[in-house]
């Protein structure tokens, strides 16, 4: 009975507060509005207006994705307040115009971030509500340098859930992938990381500790299972408040999350900028936020491979290693089509002089086996990634593989080029129309040579000692057919979008 009375009183108060809003004026400032059920993106929970001692009017929105979003260019027009809010898609639209309108039903807020618009009604917030929803800025540490730790001496190899499953993942599926990795022979070919990408996170407990969602009942048990198969477990988080798919990020909980991951037995962390683009919009803060997690992982004492994912911004290849990164994405997301894969592999990922043992340029996960490219195109995908010393993280359903897919992924000669201990990222040495020749020097003095047909018509290629940077060739092996070829006489037919890969040695 007492409870019902309290609820009724609260409702009456809220209603009178809401109606009274229409009588208020933005000029006064001192307004705190709460939105009970905002659209999930960007999740605006609070609006606050202040009148400073010097008379200046300012305001901000507080959102689930970005924390505080200050208003600029405020203009009052009767019951309507217009203002600008920074838009994180800064390239073509640095700000968006919002409006707040005082109505009988409450405060109507309209506007958007990154192309999507919201329309939501708010009511006056109590002091308790405001305190509970206020954003607490988490300061970043000064930038430091993390010494090499010997991990990822060669590019990491494994599987990741995102390309095939996106957020439709659960404990059972991850265990099934670990099983398939072993039964298919892929583990023994070198693929050891089983990486859970976005979508495993739940909410934080009262102590702030991040808990998995209901689809992952026991992360430690899952790690034990994966380890029991001779494999390693990877997990995913973001320096922002939200991950790209809208799950809980590590903002304000970096050291705590690193400890939690280590306690669960995690061996690999992908740290994806996502909503953190709001707080960390320049080179200095991006470096520091990646350093913060790098240092937190180190402090756990557990060897954890650290994968930076900020889409290649601010020339990450030149500093990824110093913030503790073992691999860093050089590009936006891959998709399962030749146009995107080849753009990433040929144009975006070549950032020479930085990749090598302990730190690798990452052109994103493999699409081999997902069905969007032809066989020739998938051979090009594997050849290009191996020539680039790229991480080989498979992205398909390991339970459903045809022979071609398995053979392409398990080719030991191709893997050996990717994993070569010298750790040199191969590069183009000759371009002739649609033909592109790449060379990658290997530890034993031999050279991997690849010929790519980037065009739509078949072509014929010949490869020379000069392409390999060698005086004369004594032996050559076609790594896709497994056959020896005569290095002097050989010409090769390349199908459209196809590739050839040789390992050649000097006389």
Question: Which residues are identified as catalytic?
Answer: 272, 333
Residues of span 190-229 touching ligand GLA by CB under 6 A: 197-198
C-alpha distances (whole Å) from 392 to each of 198, 271, 297, 448 are 19, 18, 23, 17
The two tokens of residue 393 are: 């993280």
| Strand blocks (E) in 369-506 | 392-394, 427-432, 435-441, 447-453, 459-462, 473-478, 484-485, 491-494, 499-506
In whole angstroms, how close is the CB of 396 to ligand GLA at the nearest point? 15
Q: Which stretch binds ligand GLA (CB under 6 A): 64-72, 237-245, 298-306, 351-359?
A: 237-245
CA 458 to CA 140: how far, in whole Å? 54
Note whether 303 and 267 are within 8 A (CB).
Answer: yes
In whole angstroms, how close is the CB of 344 to ligand GLA at the nearest point? 12
- Of 253 and 270, nearer to ligand GLA (C-beta) is 270
What is the Cα gyration radius of the chain?
A: 27
| Binding residue count for ligand GLA, defined by CB under 6 A | 9
19 touches ligand GLA by CB under 6 A = no
The two tokens of residue 64 are: 């689930």
21 touches ligand GLA by CB under 6 A = no
Handedness of CA 414, 417, 421, 426 (dihedral sign): negative
In whole angstroms, how close is the CB of 309 to ligand GLA at the nearest point? 5
- Of 63 and 161, nearer to ligand GLA (C-beta) is 161
In whole angstroms, how close is the CB of 366 to ligand GLA at the nearest point? 12
Q: Are strands 201-204 and 193-195 parallel, antiparallel or unpaired?
A: unpaired
- Selected from 177, 231, 309, 499, the binder of ligand GLA by CB under 6 A is 309
- Of 162 and 378, nearer to ligand GLA (C-beta) is 162
162 touches ligand GLA by CB under 6 A = yes
- Selected from 170, 272, 377, 420, the binder of ligand GLA by CB under 6 A is 272
Neighbours of 117 (CB within 10 A): 11
244 touches ligand GLA by CB under 6 A = yes
- Of 135 and 165, nearer to ligand GLA (C-beta) is 165
Residues of span 391-430 touching ligand GLA by CB under 6 A: none
In whole angstroms, how close is the CB of 250 to ligand GLA at the nearest point? 14
Q: Which stretch binds ligand GLA (CB under 6 A): 34-42, 145-153, 240-248, 422-430?
A: 240-248
CA 13 to CA 18: how far, in whole Å? 8
- Of 233 and 461, nearer to ligand GLA (C-beta) is 233
In whole angstroms, how close is the CB of 95 to ligand GLA at the nearest point? 24
Note whether 271 and 290 are within 8 A (CB).
Answer: yes
Q: Where do runs of H (alpha helix) occur along 253-349?
A: 254-264, 283-300, 338-342
For residue 441, how far is the Cα from the chain centroid? 30
C-alpha distances (whole Å) from 446 to each of 328, 443, 485 are 28, 7, 15
Q: Which stretch binds ligand GLA (CB under 6 A): 66-74, 208-216, 243-251, 425-433?
A: 243-251
In whole angstroms, how close is the CB of 401 to ligand GLA at the nearest point? 22
- Of 197 and 277, nearer to ligand GLA (C-beta) is 197
- Selected from 129, 179, 333, 337, the binder of ligand GLA by CB under 6 A is 333
The two tokens of residue 482 are: 């497994």
- Of 307 and 411, nearer to ligand GLA (C-beta) is 307
- Selected from 22, 180, 245, 255, the binder of ligand GLA by CB under 6 A is 245
Q: In what order do the strands lie in the sheet with 392-394?
A: 360-362, 327-329, 305-309, 268-272, 232-237, 193-195, 157-160, 392-394
Note whether 349 and 313 are within 8 A (CB).
Answer: no
C-alpha distances (whole Å) from 154 to each of 185, 231, 355, 418 are 20, 16, 10, 8
377 touches ligand GLA by CB under 6 A = no
In whole angstroms, how close is the CB of 314 to ligand GLA at the nearest point? 16
Q: Are strands 491-494 and 484-485 parallel, antiparallel or unpaired?
A: unpaired
Interface residues with ligand GLA (CB under 6 A) are: 162, 197-198, 243-245, 272, 309, 333
């Amino acid at each position: 009975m007492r409870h019902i009375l309290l609820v009724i009183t609260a409702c009456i108060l809220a209603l009178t507060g809401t109606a009274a809003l229409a009588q208020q004026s933005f000029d006064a400032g001192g307004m705190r509005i709460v939105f009970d059920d905002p659209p999930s993106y960007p999740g605006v929970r609070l609006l606050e207006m202040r009148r400073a001692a010097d008379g200046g009017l300012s305001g901000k929105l507080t959102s689930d994705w970005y924390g505080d979003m200050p208003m600029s260019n405020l203009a009052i027009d009767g019951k309507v307040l217009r203002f600008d809010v920074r838009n994180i898609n800064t390239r073509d639209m640095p700000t968006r115009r919002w409006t707040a309108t005082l109505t009988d039903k409450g405060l109507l807020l309209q506007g958007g971030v990154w192309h999507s618009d919201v329309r939501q009604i708010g009511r006056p917030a109590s002091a308790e509500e405001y305190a509970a929803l206020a954003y607490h800025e988490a300061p970043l540490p000064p930038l430091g340098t993390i010494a090499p730790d010997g991990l990822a001496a060669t590019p990491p190899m494994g599987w990741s859930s995102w390309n095939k499953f996106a957020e439709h993942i659960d404990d059972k599926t991850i265990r099934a992938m670990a099983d398939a990795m072993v039964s298919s022979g892929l583990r023994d070919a070198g693929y050891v990381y089983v990486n859970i990408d976005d979508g495993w996170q739940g909410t934080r407990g009262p102590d702030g500790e991040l808990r998995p969602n209901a689809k992952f009942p026991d992360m430690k048990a899952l790690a034990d299972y994966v380890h029991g198969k001779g494999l390693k477990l990877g997990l995913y988080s973001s320096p922002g408040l939200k991950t790209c798919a809208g799950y809980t990020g590590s903002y304000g909980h970096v050291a705590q999350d690193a400890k939690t991951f280590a306690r669960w037995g995690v061996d690999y962390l992908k740290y994806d900028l996502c909503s953190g683009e709001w707080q960390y919009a320049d080179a200095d803060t991006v470096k520091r936020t990646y350093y913060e997690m790098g240092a937190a992982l180190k402090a756990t004492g557990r060897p954890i491979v650290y994968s930076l994912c900020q889409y290649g911004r601010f020339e990450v290849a030149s500093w990824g290693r110093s913030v503790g990164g073992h691999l860093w994405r050089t590009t936006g997301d891959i998709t399962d089509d030749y146009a995107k894969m080849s753009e990433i592999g040929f144009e975006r990922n070549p950032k020479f002089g930085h990749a090598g043992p302990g730190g690798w340029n990452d052109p994103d996960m493999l699409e081999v086996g997902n069905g969007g490219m032809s066989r020739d195109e998938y051979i090009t995908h594997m050849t290009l990634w191996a020539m680039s010393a790229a991480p080989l993280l498979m992205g398909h359903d390991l339970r459903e593989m045809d022979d071609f897919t398995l053979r392409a992924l398990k080719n030991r000669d191709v893997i050996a080029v990717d994993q070569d201990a010298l750790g040199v990222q191969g590069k183009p040495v000759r371009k002739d129309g649609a033909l592109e020749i790449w060379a990658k020097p290997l530890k034993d003095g031999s050279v991997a040579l690849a010929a790519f047909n980037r065009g739509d018509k078949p072509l014929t290629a010949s490869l020379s000692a000069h392409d390999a940077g060698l005086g004369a060739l004594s032996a050559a092996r076609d790594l896709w057919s497994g056959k020896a070829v005569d290095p002097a006489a050989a010409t090769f037919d390349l199908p459209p979008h196809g590739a050839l890969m040789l390992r050649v040695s000097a006389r």
